[in-house]
Structure 1
């Protein structure tokens, strides 16, 4: 879809085919039982992708022919044969890693990166790569010529940076897809598209080498799903292949927990006001948790005054690094002047604050200690996922002057970056539909290594408040 075309509301691909309305666990079970074949599941996903992606713009690079060949040779793993996509900022052998940017022309990767290699061992069939905002910076993927639209209402953003993956899962093209999260990039699109999006604990999931070499490892890889059980199954299967001995195990979480928890509720971010509908959703979630026997206490945001400035300064360091190493990191064709104003502005922001960078990194690392102090008194923290309703396409246009784009970006993303600094797990869950027709997300966070606890509470919310389904709203 071009920018001049009229958006279509409520786009989805659910159909009476091999995928039906099944989640990833359901598709895997159907394949194991012989009710459908891997080839039938993959062909259904390809047809779905071809039917809705012209309206969504979610696919960065299709790899359908290779997916068909892979489906004809059954692989092992719990998700054997389940169709999926991988975000276009990790390496997949034979496909370019374009990073959502027009600043270079990527060549096909010679080998899978660490994440893709790990993901393949679970058995899914990759249909290609999904769009993201340039280098994953913005919370809305709307670069010139590469706008990812929200399937619930296509004149709105799908969030970012795992925008394409979220749009395809929400629209029913595939039941789950890869995302990664360096400031909310799994959780924000999950909130915008009505999905389950869990950022795992730091070190829980294998990831490509560049992410692991960062001074503060803010990025974590995971998946976007339509059900809590798919997210739980993904973490369980990753743990079976890659046990992490310095974190408590996730285990096989299949249901809600049975003990009363102490939950801290934060409504207002120290960075930006929370919108009325968003605040009402979180308070509604708190009442739901209290009805289950949990104790909820509202507290001020447990974030130091320096956090926002520190996080911005640190993030800009990543783009200074790209400026200096782009030709070797990405491709010899890299041209910094062809990056978007948000990318260049972030780098310039940090360039003028380099003298503050060591202290900023030290304080971000110290946030882990602050988190341990918070969770000495509480089991979980309940917040909005984002501060207000999903914006329309164009509101966070990355070609706007840096100051305007940054102000609008920060006005939306008021809650997710904290867990990237602390390394703690956090999940966004759908919790109703807004007056503008887009989903609202709530966030549940826990201490480092507490994915099992977070998932148990997520199951409880899903059971008590079933998630809205896009296929039920078509034509409203």
Structure 2
């Protein structure tokens, strides 16, 4: 396999060829490791490459008695460094976490392995997956389209690895937008499933149920296949034909103090026209965001405090220490309440009576500059994160499915533009169908230029 075959570097094509015997998983993994060796130094997507282990797993898979039964046979996959991989440390982007090896695979990793996928490396995250940019002291993870910009966070390493053509798919997690934000920044497709579809089991309590594991891929078909494995539901791999839908189109900011970049707003409008031409009934609307996003922020603070409870505070980055300190105060005051979610759910269910899906910008601004954000203050990180990525968190509070779909390029930043597709609970297949239709009608470049 050579670089000129990169267009075939999809999970679906690799698995089909491995199952048929036309391609050896040993060659697939060797190719992925070569790509990582060549490309990772430019963007720092991986914190740990599982070279010899991945080769050994590929060799063992090659003699599997029934490759034809494995939906992800031989597919190299990157794993976000916030879930357990047996025998490997799970550092979660922090010097304060346990450096010892994990004793078991997280359920999502176990399901990927059982489906024939081969983990080839662990991808970079910000400390405790709290932030929307990925760096640690001395190392900055960069956007493959423009290395002067961040790849988003917290799954920035996973998105960058996929966008740069190092792996066809990557496991990611989304607590405040951490699949959709980096997918948007890097021009790949990512879907946050609804609550409970895929095992979460992230940190102390998955940020009070806000966090979900899900796929990042270059194609909707790959993401649907991976999602079907993660959810243990083969039907999710079969993307339905997109029937005529009622599509709400909203570019209003998530907060009155925030501004939406004109090119990101135009991306939503252009997508509306594409869907209207396809026969969907589109209408402009305004998402009734709450006056403030306290339900999300309180869970973000308090969840971080609980995740950091057993860690040495002296080893935490100052920004994360302050974030956890605020979270401890939130917990002491009992400010995280289920009634907050109930009110928001009722508000959004009423709004969605008129729509099957709603489109918003995935981001409000291009991704921020690739700087040593881990060395900056808590306030600087908070302001920068909220300003560029305010559209995601509400759907985490609700636990509704949402995805980011590439729709163009920003003329100034040289990074992708994307739209967010949201559906009510159980709407993953609808989201995938709309995304697949957009992919057919306005295909995006699958990888950043190498």
Structure-1-length-normalised TM-score:
0.87
Q: Distance in 2 between matches of 1:376 and 1:235?
A: 27
The alignment partner of 1:101 has SS state of: coil
In structure 1, which of residues 30, 33, 44 is the aligned counterpart of residue 17 of structure 2?
30
Q: What is aligned with 1:294?
A: 280
1:50 corresponds to 2:45? no
The equivalent position to 1:461 in structure 2, one of 426, 432, 438, is 438
Q: Which residue is equivalent to 2:395?
A: 419
- 1:201 pairs with 2:194: yes
C-alpha separation in 2, matches of 1:160 and 1:209: 16
Equivalent-residue separation in structure 2 for 1:242 and 1:109 (angstroms) = 27
Give the aligned partner of residue 47 of structure 2.
60
Residue in structure 2 matched with residue 263 of structure 1 by the alignment: 248
Q: Indicate the residue corresponding to 1:402 in structure 2.
A: 378
Shift of 1:352: 4.1
CA pair 383-362 structure 1, distance change in 2 beyond 3 A: same
Q: Does 1:221 align with 2:213?
A: yes
- Which sections of structure 1, spanning at least 5 residues, go unmatched? 1-12, 244-249, 327-334
Q: Do the aligned residues in 1 keep the contact of 2:172 with 2:213 (CA within 8 Å)?
A: yes
Report the Cα offset of residue 107 of structure 1.
0.5
Mapped to 2, the partners of 1:216 and 1:47 lie a distance apart of 40
1:344 to partner: Cα distance: 1.6
Q: How far apart, CA to CA, are the structure 2 residues paired with 1:321 and 1:252?
A: 35
Indicate whether 1:40 and 2:27 are aligned: yes
- What residue in structure 1 maps to residue 300 of structure 2? 315
For residue 393 of structure 1, what is the aligned residue in structure 2?
370
Structure 1 residue 276 and structure 2 residue 262: aligned? Answer: yes
| Match in the other structure for 1:434 | 410
Quote the Cα distance in structure 2 between the aligned partners of 1:283 and 1:84.
Answer: 34
Change beyond 3 A, Cα 1:14–1:163: farther
Residue 151 of structure 1 pairs with residue 144 of structure 2: yes
| Aligned counterpart, 1:345 | 322
How far, CA to CA, are the matches of 1:114 and 1:208 in structure 2? 8
Instruction: Give the alignment partner of residue 4 of structure 2, picking from 16, 33, 37.
Output: 16
Aligned length: 442
Equivalent residues in 2 for 1:352-367, closer than 5 Å:
352-354=329-331, 357-358=334-335, 360-367=337-344
Question: Which is worse superposed, 32-41 or 357-366?
Answer: 357-366
Query: Per-residue displacement from partner, 1:365-386 (whole Å, max 9, x unpaired)?
Result: 4433333222222110100111
More displaced stretch, 50-59 vs 20-29? 20-29
1:14/1:171 contact within 8 Å kept: no
Contiguous gaps of at least 5 residues in structure 2:
none
Q: Are 2:395 and 2:402, in contact at CA under 8 Å, matched by a contact in 1?
A: yes
C-alpha contact (below 8 Å) 1:278/1:388 kept by paired residues:
yes
Paired residue secondary structure (1:16): helix
